[in-house]
Chain A
Amino acid sequence: DIQMTQSPSSLSASVGDRVTISCRASQGISNSLAWYQQKPGKAPNLLLYTAFKLEGGVPSRFSGSGSGTDYTLTISSLQPEDFATYYCQQYYSTPYTFGQGTKLEI
């Protein structure tokens, strides 16, 4: 199984900050990586897929990069609605696996 290691597990930031969240796969996943945002009591919401493609309706302040085993989610200028938990997930092969999550706090 492919293990996904996400860092940091929590992050404190302020409105307007630029933040990055990292995700490392235990083997190459050929950009088969998705990023999700989850708010309390809600289902996860897909932000990006194929490592860098923005899902429809997602603000352009979200971006993704990386290749091989190492990937990054960047939020260019934090907005109040961005404080949530973020997960990466590989879909290169089953079992699909998620990172442990990054809680972004004010």
Chain B
Amino acid sequence: EVQLLESGGGLVQPGGSLRLSCGASGFIFHSYAMSWVRQTPGKGLEWVSEISSGGGRTFYADSVKGRFTIARDNSKDTVYLEMNRLRDEDTAIYYCTYGSVYAGSHDYWGQGTLVTVSS
């Protein structure tokens, strides 16, 4: 059974930093690209970032480019999202996802971790 377990969310002040982690199990982690998708409370979905299976290629939404960094450790079956210079508008539930058929078609999601940016 595929499991994606996010951790690292919490309350942080504007301008602060946070690192999210997502531990994966139940599939061959190093064979698949991984993504982060976020959802503002009460609002819609926004794709944040994707990293290729080997980690050599990364992609970002314009809203986080230059502030967020995605990384993975295939020896630990874990993907990370390093978030710096956080803003109020980054407040959201962050989901770890992947697509088993197409990288962008997310058939597996974690339960999400809440990030709140507030003073």
Q: Which A residues form the contact surface with B (CB < 8 A)?
A: 1, 32, 34, 36, 43-46, 49-50, 55, 87, 89-91, 94-101
User: Please, which residues of chain A bring their CB within 8 A of the CB of B60?
Assistant: 95
The reply to whether B45 and A91 form a contact with Cβ atoms under 8 Å apart is no
Q: How many residues of B contact A (CB 8 A)?
A: 23
Type the 1/0 row for B74-96, where 1 means its CB is closer than 8 Å to any CB of A. Answer: 00000000000000000000010
- A-chain residues with CB within 8 Å of residue B19 when the two chains form the complex: none
Mask, B16-48, CB within 8 Å of A = 1, is: 000000000000000000010000000011110
Beta-carbon contact of A87 and B107 below 8 Å: no
- Assess the B45–A87 pair: CB atoms within 8 A: yes
Q: B110 at interface (Cβ–Cβ under 8 A)?
A: yes
Residues in B lying within 8 Å of A, measured CB to CB: 35, 44-47, 50, 59-62, 95, 99, 101-107, 109-112
Residues of A contacting B: mostly: loop
Min distance, Cβ A42 to any Cβ of chain B, angstroms: 9
Can you sample 28 A-B contacts with CB below 8 Å? A32-B102, A32-B104, A43-B109, A43-B110, A43-B111, A44-B95, A45-B109, A46-B105, A49-B105, A49-B107, A50-B102, A50-B105, A87-B45, A89-B45, A89-B47, A89-B104, A90-B104, A91-B102, A91-B103, A94-B47, A94-B104, A95-B60, A95-B62, A96-B104, A98-B45, A98-B47, A100-B44, A101-B44
| B contact residues around A55 at 8 Å (CB) | 107
Closest 9 A/B residue pairs (Cβ) = A91-B104, A43-B109, A96-B47, A49-B105, A94-B59, A98-B45, A46-B107, A34-B105, A95-B61
The answer to whether A44 and B62 touch across the interface, beta carbons within 8 angstroms, is no
